[in-house]
Amino acid sequence: MTFPSLFLAFFLLTSSFSPLAAGSSAAYPIIPGTVDTSVSAAPSDDLIPVRREVYDDGKLFDITHRYTSDMPVWESDDGLGQFLWLPKSMKNGSLANNSEMKLPTHTGTHVDAPGHVFDHYFDAGFDVDTLDLEVLNGPALLVDVPRDTNLTAEAMKSLNIPQGVRRVLFRTLNTDRKLMFKKQFDTSYVGFTKDGAQWLVDNTDIKFVGKLLGLNNTSIGP
């Protein structure tokens, strides 16, 4: 059995050469209604869950959005809805709590598997396990992109991404608009155009996930 994609909690290292790589949680919007515990963790003897996003003095960032029932899912107005159940509960006499999750693999922070958009790859079993973790993890350059455009070749060119940079994170209008916190899927999200992605491949050292795949299709969600 193969899975078209699987959500991944992946970590990115910020690089010391990047003036744009923030050393604090400013790099990442805090989920509304939650406390930013990224810098000073609560004392461990307090039973307060610590949900950190920044580790090792800003060298490691957890860029995964927390799954919530109100987060958007592809082309739906209703959001994710209930995705978590507790069929075994200590309060109900079980030895341990045991949760169950059910959600589309294309939800939230995730990478697409090669088989996601190419059926012959799906049939051949190119699931997320075929992605190269060496490509996915490591120092990344965080770049604020112009807010008045999609990620076109022209926009990519204007960023002057230095040679040697192998991973880049784009902070876009999607972040400003907090699209990940809006239940209703917004089709006007900023994404890559084909020429924008192609420009990066042709002119920088950035290698996209799925070296086998080439770059016929790239997109980023909200």
Ligand X SMILES: *[C@@H]1O[C@H](CO)[C@@H](O)[C@H](O)[C@H]1NC(C)=O
State which of positions 157-176 bind ligand X (CB under 6 A).
173
By the rule CB under 6 A, 97 interacts with ligand X: yes
Q: Please, which residue, 73 or 179, has the CB nearer to ligand X? A: 179
* Shortest spacing between CB 57 and ligand X, in angstroms: 30
Shortest distance in whole angstroms from residue 214 CB to ligand X: 5
The answer to whether residue 64 forms part of the interface with ligand X (CB under 6 A) is no
Stretch that binds ligand X, among 17-25, 45-53, 142-150, 160-168 (CB under 6 A): 142-150
What Rg do the C-alpha atoms of the chain give, in angstroms? 19
Beta bridge partners of 7: 110
CB of 173 to ligand X, least distance (A): 6
> Is residue 92 close enough to count as binding ligand X by CB under 6 A?
yes
Q: Among 188, 202, 203, 205, which residue sits at the site for ligand X (rule: CB under 6 A)? A: 188
What character string, x for contact with ligand X (CB under 6 A) and - otherwise, covers 193-212? -x------------------
Q: Which residues pair with 61 in a beta bridge?
A: 12, 54
Q: Taking the mean position of all CA atoms in its chain, how far away is CA 97?
A: 28
Q: Which of 150, 170, 174, 200 binds ligand X (CB under 6 A)?
A: 150
Q: Which of 72, 174, 213, 222 binds ligand X (CB under 6 A)?
A: 213
Nearest to 63 by CA among 118, 117, 116, 25: 25
Decide: is 190 part of the binding site for ligand X (CB under 6 A): yes
Residue 109 and residue 7 in contact, taking contact as beta carbons nearer than 8 Å: yes
First to last CA, the chain: 29
Pair 196, 152: CB distance under 8 Å: yes
Token pair of 80 as six digits: 């994710």
Q: Of 34, 76, 89, 184, which lies in the binding site for ligand X, with binding defined by CB under 6 A?
A: 89
Q: Minimum distance from CB of 218 to ligand X (Å)?
A: 9
How far apart (Å, rounded) are the C-alpha atoms in residues 167 and 20? Answer: 13
Phi, psi for residue 89 in degrees, rounded to 5: -130, 135
Q: How many residues bind ligand X (CB under 6 A)?
A: 19
Of 136, 131, 109, 122, the closest CA to residue 3 belongs to 122
CA distance 209 to 128: 10
What are the residue numbers of the active site? 116
State in angstroms the smallest separation of the CB of 58 from ligand X. 29
Q: What are phi and psi of 60, to 5 degrees?
A: -120, 130
Which parts of this chain interact with ligand X (CB under 6 A)? 86, 89-92, 97, 117-118, 148-150, 173, 188, 190, 194, 213-214, 216-217
